[in-house]
Structure 1
Amino acid sequence: MSAQGQLRPIRILPAPRQRPPVIPDPEWSPSDAAPSPYIQDALAVDFTTLTDEQLFGAQPTRRDDLPDPQEWGAHVAQALVEVMAGSRPAPQLLRWTVPEVYAVVARRAVVSARRAGSRRTGSEVRRTVVRRVRVCEPADGVAEVSAVVVDGSRVRAVAFRMVGLDGRWRVEALQVG
């Protein structure tokens, strides 16, 4: 700052465009170098041993990186029974199920909608409710869920296996009793 309390303007100078001089080593020649494959330090990956599925397919996720299976299992069970009852659209489960499970649930939803259309009374609307959920975790990133479901006057059981893939739980197997 100057004596009067004012700032001086900033001077901008270009950076010098010089490179350090290259000093050749008189004792080294290219023929002395041992032939070795190129390796990129600590990031080296041998792609010859990995398949496309291992590189680009769904990647397993550890249990620590997944939400609570008890709470998540209850939400998924409720969504599954609502889709199978025809009160929720099946595509909402695409992200949370493997294709085989989704196909079974969607087929069951179509059958349920057909049955509801043939016996439509207009006044009867029943909601399927999940009453109790139990979770067993046999391995890291795997949760087996069993749920008690009340469907009108019937009590049913739903069991499914959730596997941690790509940072989320996905239903890999489903059994409805």
Structure 2
Amino acid sequence: MTAADRPLAGPPRRFRPLRETVVPIRVPVPLASTQGTLALDLEPRHDPPAAASPAGRAAGDVVPIDRRWRGDVEQWSHRFAQAAVEIVGGDRPVSQLLRWTTSAVYADLERRARLVAQAGGHGAAQGRVQPVRPKVLSVRTCFLDRGVVESGIHVRYGERSRALAARFELRAPRREEAPRWICTALDWS
């Protein structure tokens, strides 16, 4: 009888399952809540703006602002910021914010979207599915004038946070158009 024909002596060896011996290349990332559709509605409202009340100011405001006007501007700032972080993340084309940005802010958004796409190995604005979607959590505004506001924006990326600072100015480019907010500065930190 050769060594190959002999039965193995002792109890059978137990092998660890394959999953315990394989080291994962990527750590699984939890998915954040979905933002819903990517519709973008930054058109100005057609109801008349509320008049500024002479009553007190919010902390940081230079001029007194009506509560309704503040709420409308904060909502608009929130929608703008959400669109901006989705552009940089590759979910939206940068052209969606063309009417609401200056050329310098537009160029910066375009550059950031391109750099993130190159780093991630995908094309910019292709509507890719991100493992973690950015979500704007809060917007705080400071009115320097009725038509000039600066916003501090808190953005959440999964477990990480980021801050944005934006400056918006109310402008009427042509006679027939209603005034609209334009982002004149957008700083990422």
TM-score (norm 2): 0.55
Q: Which of 149, 160, 164 in structure 2 is aligned with 1:143?
A: 149
1:104 aligns with 2:108: yes
The partner residue of 2:166 within 153, 160, 165 is: 160
Q: Distance in 1 between matches of 2:152 and 2:136?
A: 10
Identity across the alignment (%): 38
Shift of 1:85: 1.3
Structure 1 partner of 2:76: 72
CA distance in 2, matches of 1:77, 1:86: 14
Aligned residue for 1:175?
Answer: 187
Q: Which amino acid aligns with 1:158?
A: L
Instruction: Rate the CA distance shift 1:124–1:77 in 2: closer, same or farther, 3 A.
Output: closer
2:89 is matched with 85
Q: How many residues align?
A: 112
SS at match of 2:115: helix
User: Structure 1 unaligned runs (5+)?
Assistant: 1-62
Q: Distance in 2 between matches of 1:101 and 1:84?
A: 12
Return the offset for 1:140.
2.0
**Counterpart Cα distance in 2 of 1:168 and 1:115:** 34
When Rg is computed on C-alpha atoms for both structures, the one with the higher figure is 1
CA 1:86–1:165 in structure 2 vs 1: closer, same or farther (change >3 Å)? same
TM-score, length-normalised on structure 1?
0.58
The structure with more helix, counted as a fraction of residues: 1
Runs of 4+ in 1 over 6 A off after TM superposition: none
Report deviation, 1:64: 5.6
Residue 124 of structure 1: how far off its partner (Å):
5.7
CA-based RMSD of the aligned residues comes to: 2.3
Which letter maps to 1:86? G
Cα 1:134–1:123 shift into 2, 3 Å: closer
Deviation at 1:144, TM superposition (A): 0.8
Structure 2 unaligned regions, length at least 5: 1-48, 52-68, 123-127, 173-178
1:74-129, Cα deviation, whole Å (9 max, x unpaired): 000101111111111100010110001000011000111112226xxx98622000
